[in-house]
Amino acid sequence: MQTLRRSECAVLHLVLKRRWYDMIESGGKREEYRDYKPYWTKRINAWSMPPRNIGLNPQVVVFHLGYRKEPQMAWLVDYVTYNTKPAVAAHPEWGEPDTPRIAIHLLCRVELED
C-alpha cells in the first residue's frame, strides 16, 4: 500500500453508510457517486481543481463510516466525471438509472501520514 503525506494531497472527506463502506473496502465498488447538484458540484470542483499557483497534488478521498472519526480509509482518485449515469445495469441498487451523478473513480487504496 502506497503512503502519501496528508499535507501534499488534496483530500476530500466523504461519509458513507456501512453497506457502501464495506463494498468499497472490499474492492467491489470502485467508484463513489454524488448527486449532480450545485452543492456537490461546487464542493468537488474546489477539491479537484486547485488554484493554478499550487500545482497538481494527488487527489485522495477519505471515506468515513458514519459520522465517526474511525474507521476510515483513504483512496487515490483516478478521475472524476460529471453528469454521468450510475452503472445500474449491473448494480440497480447504486441509484436510479436516469439520475445524473458525479462519479469519483477510485484507483487504489493508500495510507495517509501526517
Tell me the per-residue pLDDT of 51-60, one tens digit each, with 9 for 90 and over: 554 556 788 9
- Residue 114 and residue 89: Cα distance in Å, rounded? 40
Select from 10, 7, 22 the least CA-distant residue to 73.
Answer: 22
- Residue 44 and residue 22: Cα distance in Å, rounded? 23
Section 9-35 average pLDDT: 91
Instruction: Return the pLDDT at 35.
Output: 86
2-113 CATH pick, 2.30.130.30, 2.40.30.170, 3.20.20.80, 3.90.180.10: 2.30.130.30
Query: Could you tell me the pTM of the whole model?
Result: 0.83
Q: Which three cell numbers stand for residue 87?
A: 452503472
Q: CB of 63 within 8 A of CB of 79?
A: no
Please report, for residues 27, 49, 63, 64, 66, the alpha-carbon distance to residue 70 in angstroms, rounded to integers and kept in the order given. Answer: 19, 28, 10, 7, 9
Is 13 a residue whose pLDDT tops 60? Answer: yes
